[in-house]
Amino acid sequence: MQPDDAIAYAKERGFFPADAELESEEIGDGNINYVFRVRDRRSGRSLIIKQGGETARISDAFRITPDRVRIEYEMLKRYNELAPGLAPEVYAYDEVMRAFAMEDLSHLSIMRRALMEHRKLPHFVEHITTFLVQTLFYTTDVAMDPKVKKALVRRFINPDLCEITEDLVYTEPFTDAKRRNDPYPPNREWIERMIYGDGELRREVAKLKWQFMSEAQALIHGDLHTGSIFVDERETKVIDPEFAFFGPIGYDVGNVVANLMFAWANAGATMEDEAARLDYLHWLEQAIAGVVDRFRAKFLAAWHQDARDPLARGIGVAEDYVDRVIVDSAGVTGLELARRIIGLAHVKDITSISDPEKRLKAERTLLRAAKVFILDRYRHLDGSAFVATLKTAHRE
Ligand code: SR1
Ligand code: MG
């Protein structure tokens, strides 16, 4: 689709009245898709149209099924049921065009950008932890009818998108197996020594990778970084669940936490006024700890209220389960930190640090922390442990 095709499509599907004066622009800034905003100049009404091609925007080398658009549409519908108000409304899915229409959220900002502008988001922790628990706990075997869940597992088999994650998140940052890693040149030699050269790290990453590939724990978003979240000071909306499948809950929690850490590194390297910087870093540290701790508290509350498996009521069962999810989240925090610095898909929080010395230091801080999150994930059981690892890595 080109912008004019999006206009023709919106007209043909009757999304606007016949006398609408439509304009369209391509607004996607992700690695995979093209996204169009179509707006009626007469009424000011607008909507978003997303269509899935056969390859990724970042590189034609990625061939990915357009079925991801169906997955995304169905996920967004589910989010509206499970976590109302925390995802855009969706209007219609077109099986032939592999396209869907949804609410225009352009009154909000992509969270990565908001954090790089050093905006505080007072409701984010409460919103995202509600989203995580509502979408994850309620799609586990603990809360669902196991046969209904198995039917859903089949509906959300997502091999192409999972392969991207298996390669880009789990395998390549630690091996450069496909020779497409793209580290910041001044850090290349350090990364070869500290990351590729660490056999124990690869062994632990292998365990996490096979867990990702085989543990159908809950229906996860699968790519919950701060580019997949729209925010302002009042609202939070999760978008882009095209990587969704039944996988480990910690994959979503760890992605949120790691991407707050990229914002922390960005603020530390770019904010010049010391008082403002310390204040913002403190807010981010509270947000990191808050995501872990509020997730845990809400997950346990949901469990005690709605667990349906008879074994779920045993003493300590819920606590053991959520402890393991937090440990998995620590592992994924480390994986996401590492892959966005070493691998193919970088984040602007880091690449926009213009002072070379500060960027080099920020990357090394996050990579040292990444190793601790992966190797010592079992001792990360609450939010303060996550923040302590980050701050210790910064001091080293
Ligand atoms: C080929 S896609 C690269 C990355 O962009 C997506 O948002 C996912 O994070 C993926 O790993
Ligand atoms: Mg995306």
**Angle in degrees, CA 175, 181, 182, rounded to 5:** 145
Considering only CA atoms, which of 282, 267, 258 is closest in space to residue 380? 258
What is the count of structural domains for the chain? 2
Q: Are residues 194 and 56 part of one domain?
A: no
What are the tokens at 220? Answer: 């996860």
Q: Are residues 42 and 128 part of one domain?
A: no
Of the three residues 61, 87, 103, the one that is the final residue of a domain is 103
Q: What is the ipTM of this complex?
A: 0.98
The torsion angles phi and psi of 221, rounded to 5 degrees, stand at -70, -45
Q: Are residues 358 and 306 part of one domain?
A: yes
Of the three residues 50, 76, 103, the one that is the final residue of a domain is 103
Q: Which residues of the chain have pLDDT under 50?
A: none
Pocket of ligand 1, beta carbon within 6 A: 30-32, 56, 58, 62, 164-165, 168, 223, 345
How far apart (Å, rounded) are the C-alpha atoms in residues 220 and 103? 22
316: alpha, beta or left? (left if phi > 0; alpha if psi -120 to 50): left
Ligand 1 centre to CA of 198 (Å) is 25
Check: CB of residue 160 under 8 Å from CB of residue 63: yes
Q: Are residues 83 and 192 part of one domain?
A: no
Residues 6+ apart with CB under 8 A from 383: 288, 289, 290, 291, 292, 293
Q: Are residues 174 and 271 part of one domain?
A: yes
Q: Are residues 95 and 45 part of one domain?
A: yes
CATH number reported for the structural domain that contains residue 98 in this entry: 3.30.200.20
How far apart (Å, rounded) are the C-alpha atoms in residues 154 and 175? 32
Q: Which ligand is nearest to the CA of 335?
A: 1
Ligand 1 centre to CA of 7 (Å) is 28
| Domain hosting residue 25, numbered range | 3-103
- CB contact burial 216-245 (16+ within 10 A = b; e otherwise): bbbbbbbbbbbbbbbbbeebbbbbbbbbbb
CATH number reported for the structural domain that contains residue 356 in this entry: 3.90.1200.10
What are the tokens at 236? Answer: 């939070």
Q: Are residues 262 and 225 part of one domain?
A: yes
User: What pLDDT shows up at residue 311?
Assistant: 96
Q: Are residues 74 and 151 part of one domain?
A: no
Check: CB of residue 245 under 8 Å from CB of residue 161: yes
Pocket test for ligand 1, best of 168, 169, 238 (most atoms within 8 A of CB): 168
Q: Are residues 82 and 153 part of one domain?
A: no
Residues with CB under 5 A from ligand 2 (ion): 30, 240
Annotate 219-282 with DSSP letters as a single string: EE-S--SGGGEEE-SS-EEE--GGG-EEE-THHHHHHHHHHHHHHHHHHHHH--SHHHHHHHHH
Pocket test for ligand 1, best of 29, 32, 240 (most atoms within 8 A of CB): 32
User: What pLDDT shows up at residue 176?
Assistant: 94
Give per-residue pLDDT as tens, 327-348. 999 999 999 999 999 999 999 9
Q: What is the pTM of this model?
A: 0.97
Q: Are residues 285 and 208 part of one domain?
A: yes
Considering only CA atoms, which of 290, 294, 220, 226 is closest in space to residue 260? 226
Q: State the CB neighbour count (10 A cutoff) for residue 251.
A: 30
| Closest ligand 1 atom number to CA of residue 31 | 5
Q: Are residues 319 and 229 part of one domain?
A: yes
Q: Are residues 269 and 149 part of one domain?
A: yes
Of the three residues 42, 70, 103, the one that is the final residue of a domain is 103
Q: Whose CA is nearest to atom 2 of ligand 1?
A: 31
